[in-house]
A and B are shown apart, each in its own frame.
Chain A
Amino acid sequence: MSKYTEEQLEKELKDKEYEYGFYTDIKSDKIPIGLSEEVIRIISAKKNEPQWMLDWRLESYRIFMQMEEPDWSNVKYDKPDLQSISYYSAPNSKPKYDSLDEVDPELLETFKKLGISLDEQKKLAGVAMDIVVDSVSVATTFKETLAEKGIIFCPISEAIQEHPELVKKYLGTVIPQKDNYYAALNSAVFSDGSFCYIPKGVKCPMELSTYFRINEGGTGQFERTLVIADEGSYVSYLEGCTAPSRDENQLHAACVELIALDDAEIKYSTVQNWYPGNSEGKGGVFNFVTKRGLCEKNSKISWTQVETGSAVTWKYPSCILKGDNSVGEFYSIAVTNNYQQADTGTKMIHLGKNTKSTIISKGISAGKSQNSYRGLVKVGSRATNARNFSQCDSLLMGNECGAHTFPYIENSNSTSKIEHEATTSKIGEDQIFYCNQRGIDTEKAIALIVNGFSKEVLNKLPMEFAVEAQKLLEISLEGSVG
């Protein structure tokens, strides 16, 4: 990117900030550390929320207090101390660094490989450019274009103020407050997140995207995303995450709810590249996310995810296929290296007639990491002609990592067809040899083979994401040759 554009962009971004005036120039706006009813009241008050929202949060808190942290997953970690986390942090205008020179060169190298522009690099590294910051959402681009079509795309805090009827109607309908420990926590303390509503019959003309970032040390991230696609509408939603190096474990417990009404389609893509901890397994982000979509008649929800980051990942983007003829899809690549642990998969719950679901999961484990696929396919007795196809492939690199598969299949309908297959293998020596012989060095050869292995999923990503994801795979597996 040439210098001129860079300056201009910087200016533009500054203008934008002014234009929307998301936050006032305050220094780090943290509230006392810890979790209590008082803290929830403060969060709610800071956001100037209506009474019903506060009540909902407090109810969630009460539910949360009665729950215990689950431990059935195939991951090991020190449970985060929820009382030592600050539950709200507004953006701080003070930059972490004054110029890129001060930033960790390793991080910059990564950015370079990802092909991220200099401005974005600065943004991601926390250099003086306040665009994407912590829990408070950022100015969303192209707001006018969307507004013309009647599409609402805004921070959820804003939606609570301006579209309370929609939020009230749908919030917590797919992920109830009492769904699980971390969902209850999120419901009580969520700081912000995105809200998206696509009106009847509207095809969203662009990919909607948000960047979340964990910027401030010691801040738990509790985003809440709500996407509603009204009858006959279509939306493709991208969520990308990067986080700068940090030494202490950070907790991320988000909730994403998707609602696809009759004939609607939602495509939700995620690239997750949070700090995975260093090569000794120290630090890294805990990613405990609840993602679920509800499909009404003839609708479709498609989850695509590329998981390369986080020290511990624990998430299952799911589809409840309630309406007849609805379709659920799940495409996932989970890469773990060093001491990373991932327990991820999906749930497809077939309730309506002629419902279909497809699960393609590719797990790649290297180093000393553990990678698990855990999924549920459930066919209710009224889900006539339900169809499911699941494929879980695991690739092992090195003999100190592990790959695990825990598929649950529950069927009580005689007209349904369910297929599940899983394989575990390693990169063949002959494949590497073939590449070597043709002048491709081993590291490149592995990248090539991994890309081929993951192709079915990469193909499902929107263009710009696919490019980034491919490079991410390469970087994540760097140094795992041997």
Chain B
Amino acid sequence: MSFKDHILSSFIALENEVDTSSYVHELRNQAIGEFEKLGVPQRKEEAYKYTSLKALFNKDYCLFPKKETAISYSDIKKYLVHQIDSYRVIFIDGIYSSHLSQTTHDKFDVCLMSSALSNPKYSNVIKEFYNKLAVKDGLVSLNTAFAKEGAYIHIGKNIIVEKPIEIVYFSTGNEAQLMTQPRNLVVVGENSQVQIIERHQSLNDNAVLTNSVSEIFAAKRALVDWYKIQNDRLSASLIDHTFAEQKDNSEVRIHTFSFGGKITRNNLNFYQRGEHCNSVLNGVTILEGKQHVDHSTLVHHTAPNCESFQEYKQIFDERAVGVFNGKVLVDKIAQKINAYQQNNNILISDTATINAKPQLEIFADDVRCSHGCTIGQLDEDAMFYMQARGIPKKEARALLMFAFANSVLETVKIPEIKTRITKLIAMKLGVEIGFDM
């Protein structure tokens, strides 16, 4: 059975199981129709020119894993940013784990998508925001059709959420091949601020494919600070679609740290729909082996006087493949835009590959848009300088790489995350560097 047939027949099974009277029911049926029409993106499509999903979609995935899986806190502790107090929304094989999570309905809602979709209390918010940003794309539609679970975060006006929210999806490997379709919705009201940490992690080496969709709505003067930590096993692949809509004076920052996974595709789409917005897209990628990361970004400026800032620092070793496909789109009315896009890459081995396509599409004249893209090596003179002073080659290399990635690390606002990322990088480079970054 082809993947598509498998999906279509599974959808009927899902239909029998879920509530068919809800608002989302209609969306699901539309979405499955779109998926049937569009299918899984092929390489001949420009957006997937450098990333083939063929190897991912030829498996017979289990779409509905068994209900209960016992996982204790000690099994997952190391994957959480446990040094800090945080709200936690934890999912095991796509199913919410209440004993590992800590949610709240006090002042604001940090809870489950499944209850938000079915509880009439949330129906107004769902009707206003759910699936309003997601584009018509084969995989996004697939998610919309199957999405049942995920994080639902709704923050009203004038609230600064005092501790970060961690959203973590674990897969236990109880199924030989698992496909999950998490769906997150984050609505942040006027003058409110929130920090979010997102992670997808598999706990053993069975194949996992995650097709995730997140929608972010930032109202006037809202601030959203989102950290994506991707350091999964070679058996796990992630296709992430994140959409953000911004109103006047809002700021949305997304930081993507890609250190592992078989195929990771990050689609970040920003739509600025108000003046004086700021969008920040930062990323550090360090890959080796046969890993593949594809960053595909879009910043659509539809209003004047806004800014966007993208910075991606990437290092590739062995047979790793990196793709950067950045796009800045400036509409005719979006005058006085300041858009910046920077992509720096280092190739360590001759078998690693980087494909970059930084694009600008500009229809307004009074703008400042620039992009820069470089591919190079570590500076030999700097290496020599350090080696001449007794720093071993490995450490010297690591130091230079830290320096290379530092401009992005500096933008991390949660110190515990910075420490954790620094440690992850040190681990990857096989060094022990004790300094604080």
Interface residues of A (CB under 8 A from B): 72, 381, 394, 396-426
Contact = CB atoms under 8 A, between A and B. Distances in A.
B374 interface: yes
Contacts, number: 124
Given A72-B46, A402-B363, A417 B377 contact: yes
Contacts of B360: 394, 403-405, 422, 424
B355 interface: yes
Contact of A422 (B348, B351, B356, B371): B371
Interface centre among A397, A399, A424 (most CB of B within 10 A): A424
Contacts of B173: none
B19 interface: no
A383 to B, nearest CB: 10
26 contacts: A394-B360, A396-B364, A398-B365, A399-B335, A399-B364, A399-B365, A402-B363, A404-B359, A404-B360, A405-B358, A405-B371, A409-B355, A409-B375, A410-B50, A410-B353, A411-B353, A411-B354, A414-B348, A417-B374, A418-B373, A418-B374, A418-B375, A420-B371, A420-B373, A424-B360, A426-B367
Nearest to B329: A404
B428 interface: no
A396 B369 CA distance: 11
A49 B160 CA distance: 82
A95 B348 CA distance: 66
Contacts of B373: 407, 409, 418-421
Interface in B327-354: 332, 335, 345, 347-354
Given A417-B377, A422-B371, A412 B365 contact: no
A407 to B, nearest CB: 6
Nearest to B378: A414
B83 to A, nearest CB: 37
B162 interface: no
B374 A402 contact: no
B350 A421 contact: no
Interface residues of B, number: 36
Contacts of B354: 409-412
Contact of A407 (B358, B362, B375): B358
A414 B346 CA distance: 8
A416 B351 contact: no
Nearest to B368: A425
Nearest to B348: A414
Contacts of A402: 361-363
Nearest to B332: A399
Contacts of A423: 368-370
B136 interface: no
Nearest to B342: A421
A422 B370 contact: yes
Nearest to A412: B353
B434 interface: no
Nearest to A416: B375
Nearest to B319: A412
Nearest to A410: B355
Contact of A406 (B332, B335, B357, B363): B357
Contacts of B364: 396, 399
A415 B378 CA distance: 10
Interface centre among A397, A400, A412, A413 (most CB of B within 10 A): A412
Nearest to A419: B374
B367 A424 contact: yes
Contacts of A406: 357, 359
Contacts of B347: 411-414, 416
Contacts of A422: 358, 360, 370-372
Contact of A412 (B352, B359, B377): B352
B26 interface: no
A420 B374 contact: yes
Interface centre among B46, B332, B365 (most CB of A within 10 A): B365
